[in-house]
């Protein structure tokens, strides 16, 4: 239990009184809790206007204003935007969870749930930072079409196909085949059917033969088979079930029975899809955790270690102004480096999710480059390099200063680390009709092994302690501003990286 949950007012929104009563009982275990109840969305919104609440617990399925619409109203009102919001639902679909997250939900719990589960979710809702409303997820029409259940009806009588198609076509993507051979061909072509309504008695190749072939092929054995059969074909049905069919429907088809049988098996298909998505999400989350741990160990730990070391040395040289000034400058530069890494990680995360809000302004390029070289002065000294610039003081780019500073830091650092033949790197800039073009030159060539993936993620060569995020980060930050990166590498000339940014207006 957290102190934040004591003496609180909670709004519970659920159409069923029994659930509201159960939730209220659990809330009383947290201390002095005032409970406001509502059975539908519009009434809940009215009550929220007249009461200050500390927590909202609302069902997804509400009459009038739906749960997701209610959440949107809460998050887009400055008065209520920071109230923890726990969503409940009797069903779980990945699209629902994604929508709720985009709209700012704090926690999501599926009914039925125990009092222990609810208490845990409430505590979690208070401990999590409040998510801002990010807008509804736009549904890709093609993706929605692809995710629709595909039903294949196989019957040698066209009238039978028409009857069943008319029953199902409103809710499913329906196709048809007049014989078993054609049905097998259709099962090998994307999108494959999810369910086949398969007539048992057909000429040339009957339904049992079709089912046996489907279930013996690894590419089609996952397809759900439901037989269409006459009442007197019991023995055939039993054999069909033993071959791998899951159900049967007797003819003539009763619309209610056809709908309910197909719907029941669709739930299993949706569950399997959800399970696959959850496995993919778990694997992706594990990869992201590994990636974040690597960044922490390899990128963030370096400036932190330098700050600690400089702090220890500063403590021993407080009476020596020149030395103290040097170590203070070291601390400042590494703090800037640490801030850069954190801002870079945050920006990359948002850009990769396509939800970065760009705020472009005109900026003087030479000032940004001067700051970059000041930040990297110690690194240049360590590598015994000098930096030469030729940048017109009047050149301006149109973008974000922080993004441009960060991408140039990454590219110049990369150039410094790759310079071994000559004792300098060169940074020049000129303008075309629409762009400022920055050229960063160093003496060495890009290794042949990584040239094709130079700007891709986790690409590095000959640097075991590096993750290979520098040029990838630079590309993302450049493209986010409407720019682009390119490079040219040559044994005699070395490597030139070209940064194209929109010209200042």
User: DSSP string of 110-134?
Assistant: ESS--HHHHHHHHHHHHHSPPPPP-
Q: What is the pLDDT of residue 145?
A: 43
Q: What is the pLDDT of residue 463?
A: 54
Cα dihedral sign, 170-168-188-272: positive
Q: What is the pLDDT of residue 292?
A: 57
Rounded Cα–Cα distance for residues 172 and 164 (Å): 12
Whether CATH 3.90.870.10 fits 361-502? no
Rounded Cα–Cα distance for residues 307 and 315 (Å): 12
Could you report the average pLDDT of every consecutive run of 10 residues in the chain (505 residues)?
Answer: 64 93 90 92 93 94 90 93 91 74 88 86 85 66 58 91 91 91 90 91 90 89 89 80 88 88 85 70 62 59 76 82 82 77 74 81 93 86 89 92 90 87 87 89 84 73 58 89 91 90 85
Q: Do domains 274-352 and 361-502 have the same CATH topology?
A: no
Terminal Cα-to-Cα distance of the chain (whole angstroms): 55
Q: What is the pLDDT of residue 363?
A: 94
Mind listing the pLDDT tens digit for each residue in 288-323?
Answer: 566 655 555 556 666 777 788 878 888 888 888 888
Beta-bridge partners for 55: 10
CATH architecture of 274-352: Orthogonal Bundle (1.10)
Rounded Cα–Cα distance for residues 400 and 156 (Å): 65
Q: Provide Rg for the chain, Cα atoms.
A: 32
Rounded Cα–Cα distance for residues 437 and 483 (Å): 10
- What is the CATH number that goes with domain 143-253? 3.40.50.2300
Mind listing the pLDDT tens digit for each residue in 389-442?
Answer: 999 999 999 999 989 998 999 899 889 988 877 778 999 999 888 889 999 998
Q: By C-alpha distance, which of 231, 163, 162 is closest to 200?
A: 231
Q: Are 191 and 219 in contact (CB under 8 A)?
A: no
Ranges of each domain in the chain: 3-127, 143-253, 274-352, 361-502
Q: By C-alpha distance, which of 135, 25, 280, 102 is closest to 87?
A: 102
Mind listing the pLDDT tens digit for each residue in 74-109?
Answer: 999 999 999 999 999 877 666 777 788 888 899 888
Average predicted confidence (pLDDT) for the chain:
84
Q: Are β-strands 386-390 and 224-229 bridged in parallel, bridged antiparallel, or unpaired? A: unpaired
CATH superfamily of 3-127: Response regulator (3.40.50.2300)
Structure tokens at 374: 């000041």
């Amino acid at each position: 239990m957290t102190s934040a949950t004591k003496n609180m007012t909670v709004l519970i929104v659920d159409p069923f009184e029994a659930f509201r009563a159960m939730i209220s009982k659990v809330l009383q275990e947290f201390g002095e809790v005032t409970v406001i109840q509502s059975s539908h969305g519009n009434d809940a919104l009215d009550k929220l206007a007249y009461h200050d609440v500390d927590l909202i617990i609302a069902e997804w399925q509400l009459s009038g204003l739906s749960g997701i619409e209610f959440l949107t109203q809460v998050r887009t009102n400055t008065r209520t935007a920071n109230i923890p919001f726990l969503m409940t639902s009797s069903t779980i679909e990945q699209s629902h969870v994604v929508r709720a997250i985009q709209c700012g939900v704090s926690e999501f719990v599926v009914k039925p749930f125990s009092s222990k589960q609810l208490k845990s979710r409430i505590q979690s809702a208070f401990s999590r930072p409040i998510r801002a409303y990010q807008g509804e997820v736009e549904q890709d029409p093609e993706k929605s079409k692809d995710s629709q259940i595909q039903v294949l009806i196989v019957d040698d009588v066209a009238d039978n196909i028409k009857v069943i198609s008319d029953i199902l076509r409103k809710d499913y993507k329906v196709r048809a085949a007049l014989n078993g051979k054609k049905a097998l061909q259709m099962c090998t072509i994307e999108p494959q059917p999810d369910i086949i309504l398969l007539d048992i008695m057909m000429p040339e190749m009957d339904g049992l033969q079709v089912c046996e072939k489907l279930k013996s092929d690894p590419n089609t054995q996952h397809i759900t088979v439901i037989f269409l059969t006459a009442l007197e074909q019991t023995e055939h049905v039993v054999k069909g079930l033993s071959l791998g069919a899951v159900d049967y429907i007797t003819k003539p088809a009763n619309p209610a029975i056809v709908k309910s049988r197909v719907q029941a098996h669709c739930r299993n298909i949706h569950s399997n899809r959800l399970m696959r998505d959850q496995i993919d999400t778990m694997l992706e989350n594990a990869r992201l955790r590994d990636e974040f741990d690597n960044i922490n160990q390899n990128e963030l730990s370096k400036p932190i270690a330098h700050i600690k070391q400089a702090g220890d040395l500063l403590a021993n040289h407080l009476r020596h102004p020149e030395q103290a000034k040097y170590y203070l400058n070291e601390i400042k530069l590494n703090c800037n480096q640490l801030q850069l890494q954190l801002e870079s990680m945050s920006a990359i995360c948002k850009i990769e999710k396509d939800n970065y809000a760009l705020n472009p302004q005109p900026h003087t390029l030479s000032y940004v480059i001067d700051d970059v070289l000041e930040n990297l002065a110690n690194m240049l000294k360590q590598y015994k390099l000098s930096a030469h610039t030729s940048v017109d003081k009047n050149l301006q780019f149109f973008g974000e200063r922080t993004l441009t500073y960060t991408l140039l830091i990454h590219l110049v650092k990369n150039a410094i680390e790759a310079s071994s033949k000559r004792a300098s790197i060169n940074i020049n800039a000129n303008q075309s009709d629409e762009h400022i073009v920055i050229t960063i030159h160093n003496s060495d060539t890009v290794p042949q092994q990584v040239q094709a993936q130079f700007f891709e993620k986790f690409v590095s060569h000959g640097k075991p302690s590096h993750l290979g995020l520098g040029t990838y980060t630079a590309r993302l930050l450049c493209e986010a501003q409407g720019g682009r990166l390119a490079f040219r590498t040559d044994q005699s000339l070395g490597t030139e990286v070209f940064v194209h940014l929109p010209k200042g207006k």
